[in-house]
Structure 1
Amino acid sequence: MVEIVDSFIAAVCVIICNLVRALWAIVDPDPTDLGTQGTLLQDFMEELSPRQLEVKHLKEKFLKALQENNAEEVIQILHTSKLDIDTVFEVDDPNMVLASYKQGYWLPEYKLEKSWAMGVHICVMYNALETALVLLQKGAAINRMPNGKTPLHVACEVSNSDFVALLLANGAKVNSRSLSGHTPLHYCTARESVECAKQLILKGAKVNAASHSNEEETPLHTAARFGVPELVALFLTHGASVNALNALKETPLMTAVFWAFDSKEQAYSQDHHLVCRLLLDHQADPNLREDDKKTALHKAAWNCDHILMRMLLEAGADARAMDINGCAAIQYVLKVTGVRPMAIPEVCYQLLLNYNTARIYPPQFHKVLQVCHDYPGVVEILVNSYEHLKPTKKWRAAIPDDCYERHKDFYDSLFAVCANTPRRLLHLTRCAIRASLQGFCQRGVDQLPLPSAMKKYLLLDPEGILY
């Protein structure tokens, strides 16, 4: 037995040595053998080159005809050559229109710049309708996806409703999945693709089909994320679930609220606001919670989006709801007050307090001054929500000297009012009325037969000074 094992090991060693020698000969060839190897290589190239060059030239000619929508040239090539009608080409695809990738896969840069595509894919990409019709009449495959998408996916991606109609009429699968797990309806992400979506739905596209991906989004989630009111209205009309949950338990409403703010441009999207209005009008629940217990109101507060906050609060959002870390919406606004230059934080705080949010814990009020010292209107609103607030030594330390000088009149009034006990009877009356109304403060005050100035006072409109 030992002899057999030794023989086997010796044989393996000989094979490995021969492989190493062969590899070394390729990397560092012997000059005496170079002439022989060169002759063999030259003979090999002379044998294959003509055929390879012919095929390469024919494919280039075919690709050019497809891109230029030259139907006559395509017919001639297919009639006079043996070129496969479903030949796969490598084409430039810098915008990733043709390709679909699974999440979590590392891809080299060149892979993102190039894509594999068949003739019908290329026709869709270059809007070559007549040429595509020729290919389909001659039996071109319509549901293959050499690089992750079928031609129907591509047609929806580029919002070409004419191609969608052509492909559906020739047997394209309306609910086919791309490599990333999305249906054609998921690729309808712009106003221009509304007509594509209509045709897909009429042919049986499932409006509630979740993507087979990490997100597990429905088409309604996707339309809400891109902020396309026309698509959202279309999906809702055809039975889309308004409270559908994705993998993170986010509803379309949460998705639209989050994406309503463009952090790069520091701008708010009116289209996303309209999407939220549509969803709420179709009974979207503003108090559903995602995995970390945030509601749509938390997301609106994080964006400091007072328009959506008002919309959600009027629809019944709970201003006291806390996330997994015990933070309510008012804490979210507090975190971002200084980094949302396009926001109006005063309105955000005012809304939350008028809808009965929990106030900041008084011993921690110096943290409000640390964050909001350059927003005296915010400080005034928060201070006026208490009957009385006792200052600490941390208050003055939290306000930079230059800021104190800029808003000297206000901060002098702040320390003067908070140092005296009690505050004026008018303020105490306001606090008593607000306490009796609790969560109905905003709606209750609006219905009271009072002058406009008195209503503003009860709803904490800032006046620029405390008294």
Structure 2
Amino acid sequence: MYNPSSLRSLEQERHQMRLAAPVLSGYLLRKEARGTSSRQTVGNPPMVCQDPVVQNALYTGNVQAVKEIFSKGFPSDLVIQPQGGAMCWRANGKVRGLWSLTYEQELTTPLHITAGRGFTECLQHLLMRGARVDLAPGGTTALHEACEECQPECVKLLLQHGANPNATNEDGQMPLHVCTELDSLECAKHLLAFGALINGQSLDDNDTPLHVAARHSLPDHMELYLRHGAALNLQNEEGNTALNAACSKPQDCASLERYSRVCHMLVSAGADIHISDADKQTPLHMACKNANPDVVDLLLKYKALVNEMDYGGDAPMHNILKAVAYKTDHEPERIVQALLNYGSIRVWPGALPKVLKYCCTSPRTIEVLFNAYDRLKITEAWVESVPPEVFQKHREFYESLFALMQTPRSLQHLARHRLRTFLEGRLHNVIPKLGLPTFLKNYLMLAFRDYMH
């Protein structure tokens, strides 16, 4: 039960207002000139509160206690100032620096706390008591907080009470920009229903919501934004479109399929696959770097330039070969195979031992790449490039490869190489139309056999 003394302690905080005002002003006025601001400076400065009774009521969502505390005549625009000790490095004029214990202050409000935790009843009471819905002493609004924490009912409630759907936080992001989780879809729907800008760009990075959805592989968000007229080819600060953003994001095996879905949606909707970023890297460069074979197949199907060079002089083939050692679970061999079948440049023969050394953990990558040559000048240096443990794990394949040191390539392989050379750059179009048996067609397209002949 909360006694009157606890409530009186809050009133005693009022004398801190004069001291706290400069601190709060710094938070409230920061980046004010950067466009639509989330700071609200109209009215009296809010009261600073460190009382644990109030904090406990808010953080636990205790509706009865919140209604008791924030009753008639009590301010609902508190600034909550929890404190915690932390070791920080402090520079010193006489010595290089010292570790010292300081107290970090994270300014928040009752609205932020309740909105971010989904305490809708508490939130509604505070809003009915007149809490300023866009107050942002810590640099972000309660609406941002609710979107980040995927609390759609709180998002809707805040918007119904006049929250600005296009307010910017201290990082220059609007609420749609912080909808980065699959569960934030309903939040995004509410924001758009209340006038959020579908092509609003963040102040620092010039990202649109479509960039964010693509980067975080959110296909349902993507469908929603495209339905509301999202611009496909807007470029951000780094020159990336939404498609570039999806292709450039590092991807683990579990997320490959989602990123593939996102890229299919963007390309099908008309995204330009040829737009490059500030380093002249195209979506194909990026998809190869992150070893997503389905996205590479998609981009090649839509006529991505297989031999385009970035500012570093790298073609897509260079990017995938650099990634093989770290992406063996992503089937990098499929990407090398696809690039070669679409006419990619090959590695200079003198560099093949180096490629073998760095890509040996993926024997299928070695197989498909080396089968693009009519002959291989294998030496003892090649054998030494493969660590013993890798050789033992893939013994059958590497024995077949190193056997070519004394044996020429088969006539069958030489005929394949001749035909591939004649059809270079057209293989993917011509071979399917020749009516060849499946085995022969696959052989010409460098299908994997797990040995060299």
Q: 1:83 to 1:400 in 2, by over 3 A?
A: closer
Equivalence for 1:330:
317
Q: Does 1:225 align with 2:215?
A: yes
Structure 2 CA distance for aligned equivalents of residues 79 and 454 of structure 1: 82
Can you list the C-alpha shifts for 1:4-44, whole angstroms capped at 9, x where unaligned? Answer: xxxxxxxxxxxxxxxxxxxxxxxxxxxxxxxxxxxxxxxxx
Can you list the C-alpha shifts for 1:149-189, whole angstroms capped at 9, x where unaligned? Answer: 11111111121221222111111111111111000111111
Can you list the C-alpha shifts for 1:346-366, whole angstroms capped at 9, x where unaligned? Answer: 222111100110011122222
Within a 5 Å distance, the mapping from 1:292-311 to structure 2 comes to 292-311=279-298
Q: Does 1:452 align with 2:438?
A: yes
Equivalence for 1:439:
425
The 3-state SS of whatever aligns with 2:107 is strand
Structure 1 CA distance for aligned equivalents of residues 103 and 207 of structure 2: 26
Structure 2 CA distance for aligned equivalents of residues 389 and 244 of structure 1: 47
The answer (yes or no) to whether the contact 1:175–1:206 under 8 Å persists in 2 is yes
The 3-state SS of whatever aligns with 2:436 is coil
- Alignment length, in residue pairs? 395
Per-residue deviation, 1:451: 0.5
Can you list the C-alpha shifts for 1:244-266, whole angstroms capped at 9, x where unaligned? Answer: 2121112222222233513xxx6
Structure 2 CA distance for aligned equivalents of residues 109 and 386 of structure 1: 65
The 3-state SS of whatever aligns with 2:233 is coil
The answer (yes or no) to whether the contact 2:377–2:405 under 8 Å persists in 1 is no
Which amino acid counterpart does residue 230 of structure 1 have in structure 2? D
Equivalence for 2:109:
118
Equivalence for 1:276:
263
The 3-state SS of whatever aligns with 1:116 is coil
Q: 1:299 to 1:109 in 2, by over 3 A?
A: farther
Per-residue deviation, 1:267: 4.8
Equivalence for 2:33:
none
Q: Does 1:319 align with 2:306?
A: yes
Unaligned 5+ segments in structure 1 are 1-49, 94-107
The answer (yes or no) to whether the contact 2:50–2:81 under 8 Å persists in 1 is no
Please say which of residues 330-339 and 199-208 is displaced more in the overlay: 330-339
Equivalence for 1:409:
399
Identical-residue share of aligned pairs (%): 33
Structure 2 CA distance for aligned equivalents of residues 124 and 109 of structure 1: 31
Q: 1:277 to 1:142 in 2, by over 3 A?
A: same
Q: Please give the TM-score of this superposition, normalised by the length of structure 1.
A: 0.76
Can you list the C-alpha shifts for 1:296-346, whole angstroms capped at 9, x where unaligned? Answer: 222222222222222221222222111212111111222222222413232
Structure 2 CA distance for aligned equivalents of residues 348 and 88 of structure 1: 54
Structure 1 CA distance for aligned equivalents of residues 62 and 255 of structure 2: 45
The 3-state SS of whatever aligns with 1:272 is helix
Equivalence for 1:461:
447
Equivalent residue in structure 2 for 1:55, among 12, 32, 35 = 12
Can you list the C-alpha shifts for 1:129-149, whole angstroms capped at 9, x where unaligned? Answer: 223222222322111101111
Which amino acid counterpart does residue 191 of structure 1 have in structure 2? L
Larger radius of gyration: 1
Q: 1:404 to 1:176 in 2, by over 3 A?
A: closer
Q: Does 1:151 align with 2:108?
A: no
The answer (yes or no) to whether the contact 2:342–2:427 under 8 Å persists in 1 is yes
Per-residue deviation, 1:219: 1.1
The 3-state SS of whatever aligns with 2:239 is coil
Structure 1 CA distance for aligned equivalents of residues 291 and 113 of structure 2: 45
Per-residue deviation, 1:123: 2.1
Equivalent residue in structure 1 for 2:177, among 166, 169, 186 = 186
Per-residue deviation, 1:73: 4.5
Equivalence for 2:248:
258
Q: 1:117 to 1:375 in 2, by over 3 A?
A: closer
The answer (yes or no) to whether the contact 2:288–2:320 under 8 Å persists in 1 is yes
Equivalence for 1:242:
232
Can you list the C-alpha shifts for 1:86-131, whole angstroms capped at 9, x where unaligned? Answer: 11112489xxxxxxxxxxxxxx99777x532222222213323223
Structure 1 CA distance for aligned equivalents of residues 178 and 439 of structure 2: 51
Within a 5 Å distance, the mapping from 1:137-148 to structure 2 comes to 137-148=128-139
Q: Please give the TM-score of this superposition, normalised by the length of structure 2.
A: 0.78
Please say which of residues 363-372 and 167-176 is displaced more in the overlay: 363-372
The 3-state SS of whatever aligns with 2:81 is strand
Can you list the C-alpha shifts for 1:205-232, whole angstroms capped at 9, x where unaligned? Answer: 111111112x321111111122111001
The answer (yes or no) to whether the contact 2:58–2:113 under 8 Å persists in 1 is yes
Structure 2 CA distance for aligned equivalents of residues 380 and 141 of structure 1: 65
Equivalence for 2:121:
130
Within a 5 Å distance, the mapping from 1:12-27 to structure 2 comes to none
CA RMSD of aligned residues (A): 3.1
The 3-state SS of whatever aligns with 2:154 is helix
The answer (yes or no) to whether the contact 1:254–1:295 under 8 Å persists in 2 is yes
Structure 2 CA distance for aligned equivalents of residues 206 and 63 of structure 1: 34
Q: Which has the higher contact order (CA 8 A, sep 6+)?
A: 2
Equivalence for 2:202:
211
Which amino acid counterpart does residue 380 of structure 1 have in structure 2? E
Equivalent residue in structure 2 for 1:286, among 273, 276, 297 = 273
Which amino acid counterpart does residue 453 of structure 1 have in structure 2? F
Q: 1:227 to 1:301 in 2, by over 3 A?
A: same
The answer (yes or no) to whether the contact 1:67–1:128 under 8 Å persists in 2 is no
The answer (yes or no) to whether the contact 2:147–2:187 under 8 Å persists in 1 is yes
